[in-house]
Structure 1
Amino acid sequence: MTSNPRVNRYLKDKAIDHIDHALGRPVDPMGETYRNHFAVSKGSELATAFEASPNWQLNGYRDGMAFYSVTDAGRKALKDHLKAIGDPWQPYSVTWGGHTVLIAAKSIGNAKYSTYLDVSDCYSELKFVDFAREAKARRVAA
């Protein structure tokens, strides 16, 4: 069970979207993420912008590429931005059939439905109404 699930989102602010992308689009930018890297062409306009920003740290060069990671300031900037725009994604715990999964969703109903879609391939006779009745979902602290 992943403690910081990923979400499928796009942020209009490109500088913040790059941070979100580098971290793997986590629900909680301050939590542990499965990745933290961004590669750009060495000397490019984007590399110059990263160099000037406190949100990025240069990790090195290889094969004409510059590799960066997000700093704590960058994580905080992403967290503040998500709060400011009212990002609806939250972590939810869904339990069904003796198994619990942690997923990102916009509501309890969305969490149950997303989990149902994940298990319905294996349980083709399972109807959502039956799954929803049996499954337990709750929002967990981020």
Structure 2
Amino acid sequence: MAFQKNHSLLLFLFLTLLGLGLIQPSDGQSYMYQRFLRQHMDPEGTGGSDGYCNLMMQRRRMTSPRCKPVNTFIHESIWDINRICSSPNIQCKNGNMNCHEGIVRVTDCRESGASRSPNCRYRARTSTRRVIIACDGYPSMPVHFDR
């Protein structure tokens, strides 16, 4: 429990430093970083159930104006993800060379197909697996979940 509180405190501190301008990403990078956090980060969550996906997808604004077909929530600290950004570069799906890979705990949420926005319904699958994340800027920060 104390471990999770420390991670939350560190995330809060990092975001505070970012907000105070002590860490200076570009405007585009900052937007993409904030979007990455909103869409993919849930360090204190454990995922695992369809109800988790239904709730999180709605809370994180991915069910309107249409249901986002697939989304992955990462259950690691932002520090672990930033560590992935410092691993060797690999090629992204789009051909860019700013992707990095690591192994993390995730919940993959896949739309069930039998729902309509904003009441989207999802199936959950939780696992520990290899992910690929695009990172940009200095310091290098996650900006896109590639796969």
Calculate the TM-score normalised by the size of structure 1.
0.20
Q: Which has the larger radius of gyration?
A: 1
Higher normalized contact order (CA 8 Å, seq sep 6+, divided by chain length): 2
